[in-house]
Amino acid sequence: MVIDNQREHVRLAQQMGHPLYRGDDLMDENELLAVGIEQAQTLVAVLPDDASNVFITLTARRLNHKLQILARGDLPATESKLRFAGADHVILPASISAQRMVQLITRPTVLNFLEAKEERSHLIELLTQLDVQIEQFTLPLDSPLVGLAIADLEGRGRGHFIIIALRRANGVLVTHPPLTLLLEPADTIIALGHLAEIRLFFQQNAYRYQMRYRGRGLPS
């Protein structure tokens, strides 16, 4: 949901087919309530001045304590203010791109893993040149992959990807997991390979399918 009151921004959002809310005062908590801030998962505050983003962050955090907030700041000194106001991630344009902001929303485990490594930007650039990407996938609680060792999982993938890390359901990040490590329910797997092949594998193998026979559901 795009929230804006600038004519050009509104026009672009409409052209791209995004849901749009044209607010008169973007810092008014009633505007946030009108677009469902209490049920939202993520808010990205990218107004052109730091003070407005600090105020929006403070207001949104008060309305939704579970909300993930990404906030933009022009000045390095603003970062501490945004974090104090409740921002989970602070984006400084001099050091971060719009694409990275999207990744913070869609692939947070991957980003947290990479942020622990040196020269992460060079790694991402190199992988992109090789048409190789890092993707994450969270196992359903009843996934047939639960209980497999990392080596078994990679074997089923027929060399299309390798597992470089995983995050347990309790938040513990395991980097360079041993091949004997067993998968547990709700593990978030971080795999390196071709994106389409990684997604296809988990779509076909990570869920417990049922076949119908004479009105009964039989486990596969």
User: Taking the mean position of all CA atoms in its chain, how far away is CA 7?
Assistant: 29
Global pTM exceeds 0.75: no
Average pLDDT rounded to a whole number, residues 33-47 = 90
CATH superfamily of 114-210: Regulator of K+ conductance, C-terminal domain (3.30.70.1450)
Most confident residue range from 41-50, 93-102, 139-148: 139-148
Q: What is the pLDDT of residue 119?
A: 44
DSSP state of 56: H
Residue-wise pLDDT tens digits, 103-155: 556 666 665 655 554 445 555 555 555 566 778 889 999 999 999 999 899 88
Residue-wise pLDDT tens digits, 67-83: 999 898 888 788 888 88
Q: Which two tokens stand for residue 131?
A: 């048409």
The chain-wide mean pLDDT, for the chain, equals 78
In degrees and rounded to multiples of 5, residue 101 shows phi and psi of -60, -40
CA–CA separation, 216 and 179 (whole Å): 38
Name the pLDDT band for 170 (thresholds 50, 70, 90).
very high
CA atoms within 13 A on the CB side of 166: 22
Contact 150, 181 (CB under 8 A): yes
- Domain-by-domain residue ranges, the chain? 2-106, 114-210
pLDDT over 50 (residue 157): yes
Q: Which of 150, 159, 106 is nearest to 132 (CA)?
A: 159
CA–CA separation, 174 and 190 (whole Å): 10
Average pLDDT rounded to a whole number, residues 28-57 = 88
pLDDT over 90 (residue 84): no
What kind of fold does domain 2-106 have according to CATH?
Rossmann fold (3.40.50)
